[in-house]
Amino acid sequence: MGLEVGGQVLVTEAELTGFCTTVLEKLKVPPHEAGRIARNLIEADLRGVGSHGVVRFPIYVQRIEDGGSNPAPQVSLARETRTTAVMDGDNGMGQIVGEYAMELAIEKARDGDCAFVSVRNSNHYGAAAYYVEMAARHDMIGLSFTIGGINHMTPWGGAEAMLGNNPFAIAFPTDRDFPVVLDMACSVAARGKIIVAAKDGTPIPGDWASDANGVPTTDAVEALKGFVLPIAGPKGYALTMTVGLLSSMLSGAAFGSEVTHMYEQTTTPQNVGHLFGVLPISSFEDVDIFKQRMGKAIEEMHGARRATGVDRIYVPGEREHLSLLSRRSSGIPLSMAVFAELKEVAERYQVNLEGAGYKEIAAQ
C-alpha cells in the first residue's frame, strides 16, 4: 500500500459505514442495529471526535468475539413509571442500548413531561453527544451521563484507581443548523496522550497525571504507572464521581471497584450504566422564542471582543458541526495506526476495506 507512517488515509463516510456494518453483521449483530452502531461511531469521526469513532471498533469487535459484549441483546425494562424507566441492556453494545434508552425518554416526554431513563448492563456507548443531539432534534434539552470503561482516576488524595474519566453531554436546540452541545470528560488529558509522550520520551504538563504514589509528575513513563488527574483538582474529582453516581446508582450498574477494564477484561460483561434525560422546551417556553434566544446567545459569543491573536470564537459543539459538514464532503482522515487496525479486522472477517476507495493523503 506504501502509505507513509505519520500520514493519514482518507475514507468516505459511506465506505466506513459499510465496512463497520458488514463486520458487525458477520458477528451476528442484527442488520438494523449494526447500521445504528456504525452510524454512531462514524458520526464521531465526522465530528472530529476521533477518540470515540472507529478507533474503538477493534475493541468492540474483540469484546463481542470474546463474549464480553452481546451482539444481539434482548433489551428490557426492569422498572417503569410515566416519566422514568430502568432499562436492562442485556449486555448489548452501548450504542444500541443507549439509542433505545434515549428514544424511550423522548417518547415519555412527548406530552410535555420531563423524563429520565437509567440503564444497566450496557457497554461503552461512544460519544455522549450522539444521544443528546437526538433530543435536541425533538425540541428537547437532552442530558446524558455515563461511566468511562476503565478506572484511571483516584479519589482526590488517593493513589488507587477508583473512578473513570466519566463523560457527560447536554444539548440545546437552536434556530441555527446545529445545536449547542457540551460533551466533556473529567480528566485534564486523555491517557492516550500520556502513552504517546512516553513513547516519544517527552515530558508531560504537571497537571496531567500522578505517579503510582499519587504524586503529580511530568515523567510520562511514571505517569503510566499512575493515574490521570481530574480537571481543577478536587472539583474534577467531585464532578467525575457525580457523573459516575448518576450513571450507576439508579440502576445497579457498576461503580468504583465493580468497574472492570474494557480493554484488558474482554471476556467479562462490564455492566456499564448510563442516565438519559430530556426536558421538552414547549412545557417551559415557546419553542420559537427559546430557539431565537439560543441564536442570540450564540451571536453574542461570536461577536464578543476577541483576545489577542484569536480569529474566531466558537460555541460548544460548533467546531464539531463544522467538522461534520467538511468531512461529509471531503472525507474522514484516519491515522495510519487506526487504519492498520481496521485492516486487520477487515482481513480477519474477509471484508473489503481496501477496495472501498480510500486514498493516500500527505503526511502531516
CA 326 distance to own-chain centroid: 20
- CA gap 56, 51 in Å, rounded: 8
Candidate list 100, 178, 208, 255; residue touching its own copies; CB under 8 A: 255
- Taking CB under 8 A as the binding criterion, the range among 37-45, 59-67, 156-164, 196-204 that sits at the site for its own copies is 156-164
What's the min distance (Å) between Cβ of 8 and its own copies? 24
The SS3 assignment for 260 reads: coil
Residues 37-96 that bind its own copies (CB under 8 A): 79, 81-84, 86
DSSP character at residue 55: G
Q: What residues does 181 pair with on adjacent strands? A: 171
Catalytic option among 32, 52, 124, 274 = 124
Taking the chain, what is the end-to-end CA distance rounded to the nearest angstrom?
18
- Shortest distance (Å) from residue 116 CB to its own copies: 5
Please, are residues 147 and 273 in contact by the beta-carbon 8 Å criterion? yes
Note whether 231 and 186 are within 8 A (CB): yes
Q: Which amino acid is at 259?
A: V
Tell whether residue 242 is a contact of its own copies (CB under 8 A).
Answer: yes
Place of cell 469521526: 45
The answer to the question of residue 172 lying near its own copies (CB under 8 A) is yes
* Least Å from the CB of residue 41 to its own copies: 23
Q: Does 284 bind its own copies (CB under 8 A)?
A: yes
List 10, 190, 224, 297, residue binding its own copies (CB under 8 A)? 297
Within positions 178 to 217, which residues make up the interface with its own copies, using CB under 8 A? 180, 182, 184, 188, 210, 213-215
Count of residues in contact with its own copies, rule CB under 8 A: 75
The interface region with its own copies, picked from 61-69, 91-99, 245-253, 354-362 by CB under 8 A, is 245-253
Residue from 200, 201, 310, 329 binding its own copies (CB under 8 A): 310
How far apart are the C-alpha atoms of 243 and 238, rounded to whole Å?
9
Burial class (CB in 10 A: 0-12, 13-18, 19+), 58: middle
Residue 225 binds its own copies (CB under 8 A): no
Rounded CA separation 218/41 (Å): 33
138 annotated active-site: no
| Catalytic residue list | 124
